[in-house]
A and B are shown apart, each in its own frame.
Chain A
Amino acid sequence: MEPITKSQKKMILIKKTIIYTLLILGGIIIMLPFVWMISTSLKQPNQIFTFPIEWIPDPIVWGNFVEALTVRPFARYAMNTFFISTFTVFGQVLSSSIVAYSFARLKWPGRNKLFLVIIATMMLPKSMTLVPKFVIFSHLGWVNTFLPLIVPQFFGFPFFIFLMRQFFMTFPKSMDEAAKIDGCGILGIYWRIILPLSKPVLGIVAIQAFTNSWNDFINPLIYLNSNKLWTLTLGLRAFQQQFTVDWNLLMAASLVVMLPVVILFFFAQKYFIQGIVFTGVKG
């Protein structure tokens, strides 16, 4: 390495300053609406409309959260959402991992062709099956129950199958042979060898399944009609339509809906980020 000259040092300093300035500026722009939302959720109604903006409300009205969550049955919505999300996570992790195990570790005729079908369905727009599925489920009498939101989750989710297959394929084949000699059957290998070694990918899939289900809007919208079955996202929309001018309460309710996912994100950030990285780089 040649020694760094003074002018080169200056150049590096200028470059660093520009980079940090841009990054900090961008970060502020990204976070500003969010901060403003928190601020609004703690304001009295008349303070929302002040100019210039009062960033720190005076007084801070914590009661907004209590009021927002009691004018509509949000506890009920939260329970419904939690119920659906739990089944979704359980169903998708279980079914996708079994299918992925079959595609990654077992040899059977037609396997590679079917895997191409999995890849193709990953790119299939969701709008394609929205209407016919609704017609089918309404003939089954499943509309206005949780069944259309839960049952399909137990049949494997193409993207998760793909992700887990890639992960399962990294284990050496000799591992299965050794387990077989020790008396492990095909299911035994899946349950006692593969799954315990796959915690990272199981974490990624579980977290994505949970957030997808928690944030889902269009499926609950078409299948759940009665108020007592609604999820949080449906509840929020109804809240907005009912109290169009109570912005402080709407922001408080929205924040509460965001909270579980944001908390999960801060505790399991690694899994969130690895999931996206896997998607892009290995996909």
Chain B
Amino acid sequence: MKIKTKEKVAGWLLASPWILGFLFFTAGPMLYSLFLSFTNYDLFNSPEWIGFANYNRIFTGDYLVPQALKVTFIFTLTSVPLNLILGLLIALLLNQKIKMLSLFRTVYYLPSVIPYIATLFMWMLVFNPAFGLFNSVLKLVNINGPNWLGDPDWALPSLVIISLWGVGRSMLVYLAGLQGVPTELYESAKIDGANAWQSFWKITIPMISPVIFFNLIMGIITSLQAFNTAYIMTQGGPVNSTYFFMLHIFYNAFEDYNMGYSSALAWILFMITFIFTLIVFKSIGSKIYYGEEG
């Protein structure tokens, strides 16, 4: 009895760093943010309760909100599927008993390791309309490349291209998933007369579905929060064509000191992320294959 009590106390004590951290740095701030979202607060005067005014403004009075939502959604709906498919294709190629696997893996994964902010300056140079890498290459085949980051039509696609450079991360996860598929499955499918296309859809995809699911969920959550790329490279421009929702939260909080309004925006983004994730869970969560034991 005594030993069991000791273990209970010790368990709580050793878990307490996280429990306290959760209260002080997650749950507490979230509740505080909910309170702030109903106030007008500039960090210097005390918060003034204004009811639903911030939320009213988000839904009806702020022309930047629909723009920010549009940009964030377009980015998520292009960058996430492209990364998902490209990552899987590369992983499938690497899974074909090839030589120099570790070299290829390193090359494809390296961009995800390099400090992200530093790579953005590289991309600014790559996209430079006058002498950047892209337009220099296009010039070789006599194409006048676009103004990339300076063109409202091309700025967002440029950011999608940058996100594809980090495809190595999802590729690695896929590769691990693919290597876990037992080869006997393919052999017996072959005996039953299945071709490569059929075994891909009937064996590979179901067997690695947990990994696809994981990449999809994490991809959605991170791209809805996209911030660094736009903040450094375009500041949301030109003509708000890369004005991500996170930029709106950031500028309201840390340039205009509208802490209340910014908190309300953060809650809206949180709800959107939650709904997106829920839709994915509900629509494909039940089709995921988690192995025999369930």
Residues of A within 8 A of B (CB): 15-16, 19-20, 22-23, 26-27, 30-34, 36-37, 40, 48-53, 95-96, 98-99, 101-103, 106-109, 111, 114, 117-118, 121, 123-136, 138, 152, 154-156, 158, 161, 186, 190, 211, 214-215, 217-218, 222, 232-233, 236-237, 240, 247, 250-251, 254-255, 257-258, 261-262, 265, 269, 272-273, 276-277, 279-281, 283
Which of B5-13, B54-62, B152-160 forms part of the interface with chain A? Answer: B5-13
Which of B75-83, B125-133, B198-206 forms part of the interface with chain A? Answer: B125-133
6 extra A-B contacts, CB within 8 A, seeds A34-B110, A111-B11: A106-B10, A108-B11, A125-B221, A136-B32, A251-B122, A254-B122
Residues of B within 8 A of A247 (CB): 125, 128
* Count of inter-chain pairs, beta carbons less than 8 A: 262
Q: Is the CB of B172 within 8 A of A273?
A: yes
In the A-B complex, list the 5 residue pairs whose CB atoms are closest, starting with the nearest.
A155-B21, A108-B11, A280-B173, A156-B18, A102-B14
**CB < 8 Å: which of A19, A101, A121, A232 contacts B14?**
A101
- Residue B1 interfacial (CB < 8 Å): no
Q: Is the CB of A218 within 8 A of B228?
A: yes
Q: Is the CB of A129 within 8 A of B249?
A: no
CA distance A31 to B103 in the complex (A): 13
CA distance A51 to B130 in the complex (A): 10
Give residues of chain B (113-141) contacting chain A, Cβ–Cβ below 8 Å: 113-119, 121-126, 128, 130-131, 133, 136, 139-140
8 contacts between A and B (CB under 8 A): A128-B30, A131-B262, A132-B263, A161-B18, A214-B115, A233-B118, A236-B117, A254-B118
- Residue B277 interfacial (CB < 8 Å): yes
Q: Which residue of B lies closest to A151 (CB)?
A: B25
Give residues of chain B (9-50) contacting chain A, Cβ–Cβ below 8 Å: 9-15, 17-22, 24-26, 28-30, 32-33, 36, 41, 43
Q: Which residue of A lies closest to B98 (CB)?
A: A19
Q: Is the CB of B266 within 8 A of A130?
A: yes
Q: Is the CB of B115 within 8 A of A215?
A: yes
Nearest-neighbour CB distance to chain B for A246, whole angstroms, equals 11
Q: Is the CB of A186 within 8 A of B115?
A: no
Interface size band for B: 35 or more
Nearest-neighbour CB distance to chain B for A58, whole angstroms, equals 17
Residues of B within 8 A of A (CB): 4, 6-15, 17-22, 24-26, 28-30, 32-33, 36, 41, 43, 90, 93-94, 96, 98, 104-111, 113-119, 121-126, 128, 130-131, 133, 136, 139-140, 165, 168-169, 172-174, 176-177, 180, 210-211, 214-215, 217, 221, 224-225, 227-228, 232, 246, 249-250, 253-254, 259, 262-263, 266-267, 269-270, 273, 277
CA distance A48 to B106 in the complex (A): 29
CA distance A50 to B186 in the complex (A): 53
Residues of A within 8 A of B254 (CB): 134, 222
**CB < 8 Å: which of B12, B113, B139, B232 contacts A237?**
B232
Residues of A within 8 A of B249 (CB): 127, 130-131
Q: Is the CB of A218 within 8 A of B227?
A: yes
Residues of B within 8 A of A130 (CB): 249-250, 253, 266
Residues of A within 8 A of B126 (CB): 33, 36
**CB < 8 Å: which of A26, A133, A156, A269 contacts B29?**
A133
Residues of A within 8 A of B7 (CB): 106-108, 186
CA distance A237 to B267 in the complex (A): 29
Known A95-B17, A272-B113; judge A240-B121 contact (CB<8 A). yes
**CB < 8 Å: which of A20, A53, A138, A215 contacts B136?**
A53
Q: Is the CB of B29 within 8 A of A129?
A: yes
Residues of B within 8 A of A114 (CB): 15, 19
Q: Is the CB of B131 within 8 A of A48?
A: yes
Q: Is the CB of A257 within 8 A of B115?
A: yes
Residues of A within 8 A of B169 (CB): 276
Q: Is the CB of A233 within 8 A of B98?
A: no
Q: Is the CB of A118 within 8 A of B18?
A: yes
Residues of A within 8 A of B124 (CB): 240
CA distance A56 to B13 in the complex (A): 60
Q: Is the CB of A128 within 8 A of B93?
A: no
Residues of B within 8 A of A269 (CB): 106
Nearest-neighbour CB distance to chain A for B288, whole angstroms, equals 13
Residues of B within 8 A of A236 (CB): 117-118, 121
Q: Is the CB of B116 within 8 A of A156?
A: no
Nearest-neighbour CB distance to chain A for B168, whole angstroms, equals 8
CA distance A27 to B106 in the complex (A): 10
